[in-house]
Amino acid sequence: MPTPVIITCAVTGSVHTPTMSPHLPITPDQIAEQAIAAAEAGAAILHLHARDPQTGRPTPDPDVFMRFLPRIKQATDAVVNISTGGGMPMTVAQRMEAAVRAAPEMASCNMGTMNFGLFQALDRWSDWHHAWEPDFLEASRDFVFKNTFADIEALHADLAEARGTRFEYECYDVGHLYTLAHFVDRGIATPPLFLQFCLGILGGIGADPDNLMTLKRTADKLFGTNYQFSVLGVGRHQIPLTTMAAAMGGNVRVGLEDNLFLDKGVLAESNAQQVRRIRQVLEGLGRPVATPSEARAMLALKGGDRVAF
């Protein structure tokens, strides 16, 4: 039997802003509805951020997360993965608050301090719905996405050790794999690892097939068979790179956090639409889609009944 593919759906994120798409979920109701529909379409993992319901600005407020997490849990069996990457200009402490409160099965762990340029979007959109949007994008020119060794240690102490949460290790460059190997050597990060190769962020590795091969080869060298990898490609690279990942035996991440479109010039009307699109690809490749319980077994997760929401 071919191994099943875990589809992660990253539902809203903190990279896109409300003007860019009317379909970007903003309110707790919208985030819950789209997350549930994505799970029904085949996503085994839901990667979640929160937004201020009035303005759409990314927020770390655990109370806002708590307005949609229980609803998602009641309606689906999907694995809930809470971002600790947050969004600009949150501090690392703020970014961890929701995951610490909710003790989810999974959280993201970003593997290096880096630039994270969003300001190129200023050339593509105008007539902003909210004054904060252009200011937010412009601020990325001088923002440091901070993920130091101490930050990664703190995440493992407060989430993995204290709460049994396991990580989606967000790797934006080859060096991030070596940082993860360092944490494995120290016994802090433990297999089976779930690596998310993030290609196409301005500040990280570029979105092309050769770079994906390099990431995979490096991970093979460092982690042997003790890991699973998944791929996200930003914007128009989403489907080509996730298709390549699936053909290479990996897992895939889709969702409006990473790409607002379904086809060139055509906005995706929902996260579920993107999940269905990659599902068609997987079916064509003859790779079965992992159920949430298969994903739990593959990633050694603690179970959906052991969370605090």
User: Is residue 60 reached through a cis peptide bond, with omega within 30 degrees of 0 on the bond before it?
Assistant: no
If you ran DSSP here, which 8-state letter would residue 283 be given?
A: H
Partner from Zn ion, ligand KMH, none contacting 205, C-beta within 5 to 8 A by type: none
**CA-closest candidate to residue 59, choices 33, 97, 24, 21:** 97
CA atoms within 13 A on the CB side of 28: 13
Site for ligand KMH in 200-219 (CB under 6 A): 201
Q: In the range 147-176, which residues lie near ligand KMH by CB under 6 A?
A: 170
Per the structure block, which two tokens stand in for 58? 């990314």
Q: Is 179 in the site for Zn ion (CB under 5 A)?
A: no
Selected binder of ligand KMH within 6, 7, 15, 43 (CB under 6 A): 15
* Burial label, 67 (beta-carbon count in 10 A; 0-12, 13-18, 19+): middle
* Binding region for ligand KMH (CB under 6 A) out of 9-17, 58-66, 124-132, 276-284: 9-17
Name which position in 13, 56, 233, 255 contacts ligand KMH (CB under 6 A).
13
Query: Which residues 52-81 are close enough to bind ligand KMH by CB under 6 A?
Result: none
Q: Rounded to an integer, what distance in angstroms lies between the CA atom of residue 52 and that of residue 57? A: 5
Part of the chain binding Zn ion (CB under 5 A), chosen from 8-16, 59-67, 150-158, 181-189: 8-16
83 binds Zn ion (CB under 5 A): yes
- If binding is defined by CB under 6 A, does position 85 make contact with ligand KMH? yes
Whole-number Å distance between alpha carbons of 190 and 166: 9
DSSP 8-state class, residue 161? I
Q: Quick one: 108 or 242, whose CB is closer to ligand KMH?
A: 108
Closer CB to ligand KMH, residue 85 or residue 112? 85
Partner touching 200 among Zn ion, ligand KMH, none, CB below 5 to 8 Å by kind: none
- Residue 225's CB: how many other CB atoms inside 10 A? 8
Q: How far is the CB of 15 from ligand KMH (least distance, A)?
A: 5
Whole-angstrom distance, CA of residue 58 vs CA of residue 38: 21
Q: State how far the Cα of 133 lies from the Cα of 137, in Å rounded to an integer.
A: 6
Assigned token pair, 111: 């593997």
Map the footprint of ligand KMH across residues 262-301, applying CB under 6 A: none
The residue ranges that bind ligand KMH (CB under 6 A) are 10, 13, 15, 83-85, 108, 110, 170, 198, 201, 257
User: What are the residues binding Zn ion (CB under 5 A)?
Assistant: 13, 83
